Homo-oligomer: A and B are copies of this chain.
Amino acid sequence: MPIASVIIPAAGLGRRFAAEAGASGAEAAPTKVFAMLGGRPILARTVGRFLPIANVGEVVVAAPPGRADEAREACGVAGADAARLVVVEGGPERPESVARALEASDASTELVAIHDAVRPLIRGALIEEAFRTAVEHGAAVVGRPVDHTIKRIEGGTRVAQTVPRADLWLAQTPQVFRREIILQAYARRDQLVGYITDDAQLVEALGHPVVMVRGDAANFKVTTPEDLRLCEALLAAGWPFET
């Protein structure tokens, strides 16, 4: 199996998270990736899902601007693993953070995986399945078939249409690419900014095939303090139930 660089954009401020944590009367809300999850920062939890995987060559974290040292410390990675953790300063927007991390990554790795800092419950076996799929097809996206009814809304909350859902999937991360493909996609990103919501979309725009890998419901994005409590409950229950 080829070696992967794992990019974790973690420069976002988590404004919604902070607003809701503040509104609920909590202490001064931290930047979301530094919020504690079962005694460790979310970022440390997420980084810690990747480092034990043998064919992860390095994890490159894009930290909030001016806070690279703090991010490295928050990760709490010591010993031999410390050499596999690279921390760079991210930019004001996610694509800029990913671009800087790409630039800082080891150019000799064949795969690049990009994973949201705030999906701390990703399973190791799923990461490896995404790696294998990217090797085979060039680009792999972890996600879930849509099993909800989806409504299109007008004017805030009024339903305009029920969207046909057969063949719709929700994209999660990791999104894994052969290095030359994601480099080519990011080289063109300025032409596409504004409507892009995930990295795979840049690759789709190039016309490269992208293949879905079925993920877990528990691989959700921590957006609110309530989501964080959900994560804590899952960790307390022993998720991800793998050795």
Contacts and interface: CB of A to CB of B under 8 A. Distances in A.
Interface of A: 141, 143, 146-154, 157-165, 167-172, 195, 197-198, 200-201, 204, 209-213, 216-218, 220-221, 223-224, 226-227, 229-230, 232-234, 236-237, 239, 241
Determine which residue in A198, A211, A216, A233 has the highest number of CB atoms from chain B within 10 A of its CB, and name it: A233
Q: Is the interface of A mostly helix, strand, loop or mixed?
A: mixed
A229 B220 contact: no
Contact of A233 (B153, B168, B204, B237): B237
A161 B171 CA distance: 12
Given A164-B195, A233-B237, 8 more contacts: A149-B198, A150-B168, A151-B171, A151-B212, A153-B168, A162-B200, A217-B220, A229-B237
A32 to B, nearest CB: 14
A209 B157 CA distance: 10
A149 B163 contact: no
Given A141-B151, A149-B201, A163 B168 contact: yes
Nearest to A195: B164
A149 B197 contact: yes
15 contacts: A141-B159, A143-B151, A151-B171, A151-B212, A153-B168, A157-B211, A157-B213, A160-B167, A161-B204, A162-B204, A163-B168, A217-B220, A217-B226, A217-B230, A233-B234
Contact of A210 (B159, B171, B233): B159
Contacts of A198: 149, 162
Contacts of A162: 171, 197-198, 200-201, 204
Nearest to A231: B233
